[in-house]
Amino acid sequence: MFKGSIVALVTPFKGNEIDEFALRNLVDWHISEGTDGIVPVGTTGESPTLNHDEHERVVEIVIDQSNKRVPIIAGTGSNSTAEAINLLKHAESAGADAALVVTPYYNKPTPEGLYAHYEALDSASSSIPIIIYNIPSRSVIDINIDLMGRLSHLQSIVGVKDATSDISRIKQHNELCENGFIQLSGEDETIYEYMINGGQGCISVTANILPKVCSDMHKAFSNNDLEEAKKLNNILMPLHKALFIETSPSPVKYILSKMGLIDYEIRLPLVKITQETKSMLDEIISNLEIK
């Protein structure tokens, strides 16, 4: 169920409010382009800048508009366990197919604290599957292999979005984690290596811009057509790199605004990209014939 090209969806704003019309259109566009799943209110969705009502509303809109056509994995992470539980319960009641729960950031829990955090979420969840989001570059916390193995035995924990860049973890997770443990890449740049080493998919930033190409690449992987998958990945690579020239999702939102899909609005403390970055992105857009 959770595999292939899964988009880490941006949250469009208009006049500093959630642009529901644009958000619904994005959901429909992604589904028509072949996107296999949608993650609202993750990092790319600017979840740290959304208040609780906005966070919950975005989840509700995406679930409603998708109408069960693709799985919805709602971002429900927080560095407060109590808050993460509340977000998880809302996602479950709203009808999300799974929850993406980032490791607690800033307060730097010990491995036992991390285990207790996810154990509390597991206890609070009656049915919704939980995918752990391990991204040490942002959270300053890394779930090591042994701890991931322990966590995988909690009933609700079904997989990981891994943004460590460590491809060797795929095999190590397979050895220590529960059978069927889902492994999704959290880094577009390493997706080819991740997939050929046993990954099941990617929660992708690049898919915001070129969802069909990302979807076609994953179809090639599923058909074991590695030559086609590599060709498509090579096409995407300049975009993979460019979208992180400045802090994401500002470059993503700039390109989407050029495509006429959203307004170019981003919330502080993130800011709009520089003119130099705009020029670089404009060249890449032109080369890829993105319209």
Q: 30-82, pLDDT tens digit by residue?
A: 999 999 999 999 999 999 999 999 999 999 999 999 999 999 999 999 999 99
φ/ψ of residue 201, rounded to 5: 170, -170
160 close to 127: Cβ distance less than 8 angstroms: no
For residue 256, is pLDDT > 80? yes
For residue 289, is pLDDT > 90? no
What's the half-sphere exposure (Cβ side, CA atoms, 13 Å) at 90? 20
φ/ψ of residue 101, rounded to 5: -120, 105
Which of 69, 70, 88, 68 lies closest to 78 in space, CA to CA?
88
Q: Which domains does the chain have, with CATH numbers?
A: 4-223 (3.20.20.70)
pTM here? 0.97
The stretch 124-146 carries a mean pLDDT of: 94
For residue 188, is pLDDT > 80? yes
Contacts 24+ apart (CB under 8 A), 164-169: 164/134, 164/135, 164/136, 165/190, 167/193, 167/194, 167/197, 169/145
Q: 107-134, pLDDT tens digit by residue?
A: 999 999 999 999 999 999 879 999 999 9
Rounded Cα gap, residues 246 and 280, in angstroms: 11
pLDDT for the residue 126: 79
HEC string of 46-78 equals CHHHCCHHHHHHHHHHHHHHHCCCCCEEEECCC
Q: Tokens 């090209």: give the residue.
A: 5
Q: Name the token pair of 166.
A: 């460590």
The stretch 172-193 carries a mean pLDDT of: 96
Chain centre distance of CA 146:
24
Residues designated catalytic: 133, 161
